[in-house]
Structure 1
Amino acid sequence: MTVVLGAHNLSKEENSQQHLQVAAYHPHPNYDGKQEYDIMLLKLKHNAKLNKYVKPIGLPKKDGKTPANVNCVVAGWGRTGAQEIASDVLRETTEKVQFSFECKKIWQKHFNTEHMICTKFDRKKGGICQGDSGGPLICNSKPQGITAFTCENECNNPKYPHVFTKLHFFLPWIKKILQE
C-alpha cells in the first residue's frame, strides 16, 4: 500500500505530493469490520518531508471532550451528495458537534457514545459523504475524530448526523503502538 501526502487534486501529479510505502498496519484489536473500533495506524517505511503542504497536526488531549455546538472542519475527496461522484479535488466544510444522546437516539445500536462523536451539518454547505472515510474532524485546530460513517444513501440528509471515531478515547492504544 502507498500513502499519498500533500495531495490536493487526485486526478493529476502535483509537486506537493509525496508517495510513501506502508511498512506496517496496526488495526485496532477490537475492530470486527463494523462501525465500532474503526481505527488503524499505519507505519511508513520512510519519514515524510515536512513542508507547507505536509505538516503534523498532533493529537487531542487525553481528557479532551469536545462539547456540543462547537464548529469543526471536515475534509475529503468523497461524494458531495448521495447521487454525486467522488471529487478529484480536496474539499472542506464545517460541521457542528451534536449532543451524543441525540446521535444515540437516531443511530441506536450503531452509535457508541464512549468512542464515537457525531455532527450536524447544513445541507447547503455540505458535509462528509461516501469516500470521505478516514478523513479528519478538526475542532479548535486539533483532530478530534476520524470520519467513520453516514447514512449510506442519504449522506446529505440532515436528519442523519455524521459519525466519527472519537480520537481521545483511543490515545492509550495509539501511544502503545507508537512505542513499539
Structure 2
Amino acid sequence: MANAYGIIFFFQLLSLTGASESGIVGGKDTKPHSKPYMASLQVRGHHTCGGILIREDFVLTVAHCENSEPVTVVLGAHDISKKEKSQQWIQVAKYHPHPKFITGKYDYDIMLLELKNNATLNKYVKTIGLSKKDGKVPANINCVVAGWGRTGADKPASKVLKETTEKTQFSAECKNIWQKYFSADRMICTKFDKKKGGVCQGDSGGPLICNSKPQGLTAFTYECDCNNPKYPHVFTKVNFFLPWIKKVMK
C-alpha cells in the first residue's frame, strides 16, 4: 500500500464496515429465482446485506452486518421492492458472529444468523451446500457474485437480484495490494474488469460461487471506488470456517 494514501486511506477502509448497502456494478439481472439460496437482510424494510441459506434455520453472512436493530431475513425474493408471493420473511432469533471478529477490523468477518422459524423449502427457497473440507481455491477461475442494491458508487439501488463474474486471484497479489488487511488463510480476493463490474459497497455477506459452491462471502472493497480494478475485491474464505460453522449449527 503506497504511503501516499497513509492515514486517509486507512480511515476510508475502516468506513467500509459500515457501508453494507449492497450492490453489483455492471452485471446483469439474475434469472428470477435461479439462486433460491439468496437471502436479503433487511432493517425496517430496507435491504442492508446479503446472505445465503445453508440450513432451514441458518443463514450465513459476514459479521460486520450485525445490526443493533432487529433484522428480518427475506428469502425467495427476486424484486425486493415488491411483496412477491414467493417471499418468506423470517426474524433473526440469534446472532452468532465469529468470536474472534472485532468491529472495525476485517479478519474473521463471518456470522451465522439463527432464524426464529425454519424456512419452508420449495422451488423459490432452497439451501446451498458448503464444501466438505478446507480445500484451496485455485487462482484464475471464474466465480459468480450476486446481490441487490447499488449499481455504482453514486447510483441508486437495484430492486432486482443482479449477478456478474469475477476471477479468483493469487493470494500474493492480494497481499501486495491490501497488505496487513489481507489474510491468505481466511480470505480470497478477485480481479474484475471495469466493464463487467462486480461487488460494491459492500454487497456484504453475499456469496462468491465457484464451481457451484459458495467459496467466499463479500467482505470489503476499496471504499472510494469499488469498481477500481487496481484494488481486488476481498471475500471471507468459507472453507476455513467449516469447523466453526458445524460447531455453531450442531
TM-score, normalised with respect to structure 1? 0.96
1:12 corresponds to 2:82: yes
Number of aligned pairs? 179
What RMSD, in angstroms, separates the aligned Cα atoms of the two structures? 1.0
CA distance in 2, matches of 1:160, 1:76: 20
Among residues 107, 118, 128, which one is paired with 1:36 in the alignment? 107
Identity of aligned residues (%): 75
Per-residue deviation, 1:131: 4.0
The equivalences for 1:24-173 within 5 A come to: 24-33=94-103, 34-173=105-244
Structure 2: gaps (5+ residues):
1-70
Q: Partner amino acid for 1:157?
A: N
SS state at 2:93 partner: strand
User: Per-residue CA shift, 1:106-130, capped at 9, x if unaligned?
Assistant: 0011111110000011211110001
CA distance in 1, matches of 2:248, 2:110: 12
CA distance in 1, matches of 2:149, 2:223: 13
Q: Partner amino acid for 2:131?
A: P
CA distance in 2, matches of 1:14, 1:64: 38
Per-residue deviation, 1:9: 1.1
SS state at 2:149 partner: coil
Q: Which residue of 1 aligns with 2:18?
A: none
CA distance in 2, matches of 1:78, 1:134: 13
SS state at 1:41 partner: strand
Q: Partner amino acid for 2:122?
A: N
SS state at 1:169 partner: helix
CA distance in 2, matches of 1:78, 1:99: 28
TM-score, normalised with respect to structure 2? 0.70
C-alpha contact (below 8 Å) 2:198/2:227 kept by paired residues: yes
Structure 1: gaps (5+ residues):
none
